[in-house]
Amino acid sequence: MIKRRKEFGLNDIKTIASELIKESEGNNIWLFFGDIGTGKTTIIKSICELLGVRQMVNSPTFSLINEYLSSSKKKIYHFDLYRIKNEKEIFEIGTTEYFDSEELCLVEWPKKLGMYKPTKYFQVELFHESDQKRSIEYKII
């Protein structure tokens, strides 16, 4: 499934998050591509909110992985791989075990996964159009 690029504003984030949940078709690994400031973490916060996460959702830039609990008691793992230096670190944090857990894994900066990039995932790509506008493109790989 490939969707056309869709432009959205800051007020549309919950709508976009809801659309992503529906369109993911149950894929548990979501890879979020986009430059700094395109809204990856903001969209992930909305996704978690819609899934009933009551904890504070923020970017795990320094911890690398945050774990949340949805209202249905399912775990959600939020990865921020920005500070990862090499594939050895990807292995050491147990990324493949998280991916194999069948829990929802939301991954920022997935290019850092290298050879550990899964073969099946939901790809979300964000683009910065202006200060108030972004575009999104998503597909199942």
Q: pTM of the entire structure? A: 0.94
We report the CATH number of the domain holding residue 12 as 3.40.50.300
**CA count, 13 A, side-chain hemisphere, 121:** 20
pLDDT score of 1: 59
- With a cut of 80, say whether residue 2 has pLDDT above it: no
Q: What is the largest CA-CA distance in the chain?
A: 39
Structural domain count of the chain: 1
Query: Do the domain assignments include residue 115?
Result: yes
% of the chain exceeding 70 in pLDDT: 97
| pLDDT tens-place string over residues 85-109 | 999 999 999 999 999 999 999 999 9
The torsion region of residue 25 among left (phi > 0), alpha (psi -120 to 50) and beta comes to left
- Within a domain: 45: yes
**29 by DSSP, 3-state: which?**
strand
What amino acid is encoded at 14 in this protein? Answer: K
* Residue 105, in any domain of the structure: yes
CB 55 within 8 A of CB 69: yes
What range does the domain containing 25 cover?
6-140
Which secondary structure element, helix H or strand E, spans residue 53, and what is its range? none
The answer to whether residue 13 sits within a structural domain is yes
Structural domain contains residue 1: no
